Amino acid sequence: MKALTKAVLLLSVAIGGPLSLTVTSGFAAELKAGTAKVVITNQTPRVMTNGRVSSGVLKDIYARALVLNDGRKRLVIITYDLNCLDVATPILRTRLKRELSIDPAYVVLLATHNHNGPIQIVPDNFDYGRWLADKLYDLVKEAMGREVGPVRLLFGSGHGYFIQSSGNAPVDYEIQLLKVMKGEQVVALLFNHGTHPLQGSIDKVGPGHPGWAMDEIEAKIPGSFAMYSDACGGNQFPRLRGRIREELAAAQKQGTEVANSFLLKHTKSLAHELAVSILDIAGGELRDVTGPITSSMQTLSLPLRDPIPRAEAEVLAKNFPADTGFVPYPNKFRGTNWVRMLLYWYERGLPFPKWTTDLICTDDTYLIHKSDRQMLDRYDYSIHDELPCIYEEVIVAKLGPMPLVAMQGEVCAPIGMRIKDAFRHEIPIMVFSYMGEHNLYIPTRELVRLDAYQSKVIQIQYASPVGWAPEVEDEMVGGVIKMVEDIRSTAEPTP
């Protein structure tokens, strides 16, 4: 370990864990932390992210909040057992700013990437999103009211080798952990891993394997509060060992209950592997990153390619009924919305977008040009007046010496790896994606070249008339690195 200026080595014992070596900082002001969680399980059947209507509850889903207060600013970190936040995002940001004076740059909204919870892009689920926004606002207030201090922030990382990647990409096995301690008591454990979740059921609401992992961690460390969010897992998935796929297919032929039992068994097994990894990291060598809090938020402009010729679009239009119109998830023709949108743009003579910032995303995930008054009026009901969704939102906070990066959408693993590798030799850095609303995939250059699913989602799910330019990866990485460099060069706030 490199010697650190004005740092000493201390031995500390994690509750329920082995002896750990901690590098401490010299932050003088008192840092406080508060936590709270709330059940967000839907009480009536809802369309879930996996496209099915829920038929009961396997296990409750939760939202969890961690509020860090350095005496000047509060940083609010909220995780939730959902695929993303969607409708609730601008409503919650607006209330926190107006009523609690917490700027959106200091509100880090992170999803577990759960596919067995309500998806808010379905118009029939918009009311769930509005209900959820109120729940999360109350959750933040509860966490603020439970602040305790002084606390220390400790950062560490390890690896979970039970995932795999697609798209000709290396696997990012890294698991990152932020441990919040009050004396020798663990207050909170915020951790990430870059992967889609394994779900415990086909048709029931449940949190996926991270939910069971959090339960196990809290049982092993009494009094602790576990929080999970996906890292950059857009192209990464659980590694299914042996003949699990074939066995699952056989179980499905025997009926949903048999398949659910099979899935639950393997979901709990994966959860245990994740929990063990977290407990190992929590009890190992950690770096103290306690310090003043600052944060910034920007909308990065990402490049788009030119449209296909109109004649090609007209040929594609022969594959669906002429009167289909624009249809929401999970309509079977949703994947062809982009063709109809492209023809609409040609007919209207609209300027094709060159950058994501040319477009506004509606709550039901239509990407509309900022100048298209006809479509903006048509979908006005699903565009927030004050905080419309424009890609690509990024928050970079700084906890003492450590940047904490949160990127909107399903960012693919090599992008996160490049950002971490740009700084890890100098400073600790914690990187998340699945932040805020609408999980648009942010693909790599290679995924664009392959025309892989992750690169096509901008069209087949978001109805963009054009796809990604190959430079999207470099623009994303460069933009985030610039944000990190900027916040690192900002003068430390005085306590």
**275 in helix, strand or coil?**
helix
Q: Are 402 and 289 a contacting pair, CB within 8 Å?
A: yes
Scored b (16 or more CB within 10 A) or e, 31-54 reads: bbbbbbbeebbbeeebbbbbebeb
Q: Are 42 and 75 a contacting pair, CB within 8 Å?
A: no
Q: In the numeric block, which tokens belong to residue 472?
A: 């999207």
* Distance (Å, whole) CA 443 – CA 479: 15
Amino acid 21: pLDDT:
41
Cis status, amide bond into 150, omega within 30 of 0: yes
Amino acid 488: pLDDT:
96
* Distance (Å, whole) CA 16 – CA 186: 9
Enter the pTM of the model: 0.93
Cα–Cα distance list, 49 to 8, 31, 395, 441 (Å): 48, 38, 25, 15
Cα–Cα distance list, 170 to 119, 174, 454 (Å): 30, 12, 16
Q: In the numeric block, which tokens belong to residue 61?
A: 């889903």
Question: CB within 8 A of 293, min separation 6: which ones?
Answer: 68, 70, 72, 73, 74, 75, 106, 397, 398, 399, 493
Q: Are 369 and 351 a contacting pair, CB within 8 Å?
A: yes
* Distance (Å, whole) CA 345 – CA 309: 12
List, run by run, the mean pLDDT of 10-residue segments along the chain (495 residues): 29 32 53 98 97 97 98 98 96 98 98 97 96 98 98 98 96 98 98 97 97 98 97 95 82 92 96 98 97 98 98 97 94 96 96 97 96 96 95 98 98 98 97 96 98 97 98 98 96 63
Question: CB within 8 A of 209, min separation 6: which ones?
Answer: 197, 198, 199, 200, 238, 267, 268, 270, 271, 274
Amino acid 494: pLDDT:
59
Q: Are 154 and 289 a contacting pair, CB within 8 Å?
A: yes
Question: CB within 8 A of 389, min separation 6: which ones?
Answer: 89, 90, 360, 361, 362, 363, 383, 437, 438
Scored b (16 or more CB within 10 A) or e, 308-338 reads: eeeeebeeebeebeeebebbbbbeeebbbbb
Nearest to 199 by CA among 211, 215, 190: 211
Task: Say which amino acid occupies 273.
Answer: E
**C-alpha torsion sign, points 131, 135, 136, 140:** positive
